[in-house]
A and B are shown apart, each in its own frame.
Chain A
Amino acid sequence: MRPAKFDYQRPSSVAEAIKMLSSSGGAKALAGGHESGIPALNLRLAQPDALVDIGRLSELKGISASGGKLSIGALSTHAEIAASADVKAHCAALASACANVGDPQVRNWGLLCDGIAHADPSSDPPTVLLAAGGTVHIQGTGGSRSVAASDFFVDLFTTALADGELITRIEIPSLQGKKSAYVKMTHPASRYAVLGICVVLGVEGGKCSSASVAIGGCVPKATKSAGAEAALKGSSLDDQALDAAANALMSDIASAVTGDIYAPEKYRKQMAGVYLKRAVRAALA
C-alpha cells in the first residue's frame, strides 16, 4: 500500500509548525507516527495535503521535574520516559507503562504524545495520564492552553485537540509519597493492552486516604472508575475492599466494554476486576 501524494514540510520552530499546520487545510503533523500515522496514510484512511515534520524541534524535547511537577516534552520516546530517573521518581507507573509498550523498536520510535494525540483505546499512556491527574499542554494559532486529561480524551480516537494545534508537553503532579502501579493484559501478538489499569493510592496508617483508578484497552477511551475509587478510599485495602472495588469497576464499565475475537466483552469485563486487584497489590508491594 502506498500513500496518496502529499507535500513534506520541516519547520524550525513550534511557531512555524503551527503556521504551516494552519495555512494548509489538510496538513497533519508528523512526529513518531510509525505506529499509527504512517499506516493510516498507506491505507489511505488519511490523505493530508501536507505532512509537517515536527520530529526535530528541540523545543518539544526534554523531561524535567520541579516544584512537585513532572514535565515531559512532546517528542519524548517511550524508551526515554521508561529510562528517565525523574519519571521513575515522580510517576513510576508511567515509567513502567512506557517500558512495556510494544517492542524495543516501537519504544525507540514511538512518542508519548503521538499515542496521546492518537487516543488509541488500546494504548497504555492515556490510562496512566488520566489516573495520575495529568494535563496536556497545547499550542495553536490562538496561543497556548492546557487541558486536564479527564477532558482531553473525548472518545475513540477523539481528543480535545483542534485542527492546527500541537501538543507541546505533558505535565503530571508528582506522585511521590503515593503508591501507584500500571498493570496490563498484553495481547500476545501486538503487545497492545487488551486491558490496562492504573491506580494511584494515598495510604496513611494502613488506610487508603485517596484513590484514583483509570482503565483503558477494553473501553473506547481511558476511563475513571468512581465506584472503584469509592470502594478503596477509607478501606484498609484488604481482600474484602479489593473485591468490592473490583465489582464496582466491572459495574462502572459494564455498558462501555468492547471485545474482539481474542478477548470477548464479558471476559474483558471479568478480567478488569482481576487486574484491578493486581494493580492495587502491585502498588502496595
Chain B
Amino acid sequence: MFPKFELDHTVTPSPHHPVGVKGIGETGTIASTPTVYNAVLDALKPFGIKQMDMPMTPARVWQAVQDAKANGGGH
C-alpha cells in the first residue's frame, strides 16, 4: 500500500542569476554550452578578451582577436 505523505515545497532562488531561476530538465546538457564558451574565452585570455557574443563562429573569434590587438591587447 502507498504510504501516506505530506506535500510541501521550498523556494531557494539561485544567487547566480538576476531573477533567481534555475534550469530543470536536460540539466546535463545545459552545462555543455558554457563549458565550450569558457574554453574559448580561456584560449583567448592572452588577448584580454573577457566576453563574446554567441555563437562563437570562427569569424567572430577572429574579429575579437583583431579588436583586442587594435586596442593594445595580446602579445
**Complex Cα–Cα for A267 and B64 (A):** 11
Interface size on A, residues (CB 8 A): 6
**Interface bits B46-59 vs A (CB < 8 Å: 1, else 0):** 00000000000111
A270 x B57 contact (CB < 8 A) = no
**Complex Cα–Cα for A267 and B59 (A):** 6
Q: How large is the interface on B (under 10, 10 to 19, 20 to 34, 35 or more residues)?
A: under 10
Asked whether any CB of chain B lies closer than 8 Å to the CB of A208, the reply is no
Query: B57 — which chain A residues lie within 8 A by C-beta?
Result: 262-263
Asked whether any CB of chain A lies closer than 8 Å to the CB of B38, the reply is no
Query: B63 — which chain A residues lie within 8 A by C-beta?
Result: 264, 267
**Complex Cα–Cα for A223 and B14 (A):** 56
- Kindly provide the distance from the CB of B11 to the nearest chain A CB, expressed in whole angstroms: 42
- Kindly provide the distance from the CB of B12 to the nearest chain A CB, expressed in whole angstroms: 40
Q: How many A-B residue pairs have CB under 8 A?
A: 13
Q: Who on chain B is nearest to A263 by CB?
A: B59
Query: A263 — which chain B residues lie within 8 A by C-beta?
Result: 57-59
Looking at chain B's contact residues, is the secondary structure mostly helix, strand, loop, or mixed? helix
Query: A270 — which chain B residues lie within 8 A by C-beta?
Result: 62
- Kindly provide the distance from the CB of A19 to the nearest chain B CB, expressed in whole angstroms: 49
**Complex Cα–Cα for A263 and B62 (A):** 10
Query: A267 — which chain B residues lie within 8 A by C-beta?
Result: 58-59, 62-63
**Complex Cα–Cα for A205 and B59 (A):** 39
**Interface bits A231-273 vs B (CB < 8 Å: 1, else 0):** 0000000000000000000000000000000111001001100
**Complex Cα–Cα for A264 and B57 (A):** 11
Query: A264 — which chain B residues lie within 8 A by C-beta?
Result: 59, 63
Query: A262 — which chain B residues lie within 8 A by C-beta?
Result: 57, 59
Among B58, B59, B63, residue most surrounded by chain A Cβ atoms (within 10 Å): B59
Among A263, A264, A267, residue most surrounded by chain B Cβ atoms (within 10 Å): A267
**Complex Cα–Cα for A264 and B61 (A):** 12
**Complex Cα–Cα for A51 and B21 (A):** 59
Nearest first, the 7 A-B pairs at minimum CB distance are: A267-B59, A263-B59, A267-B62, A264-B59, A262-B57, A262-B59, A267-B63
- List 6 other contacts, CB 8 Å, given A263-B57, A264-B59: A263-B58, A263-B59, A267-B58, A267-B59, A267-B62, A271-B62
Name 11 A/B residue pairs within 8 A (Cβ), A-sorted: A262-B57, A262-B59, A263-B57, A263-B58, A263-B59, A264-B59, A264-B63, A267-B58, A267-B59, A270-B62, A271-B62
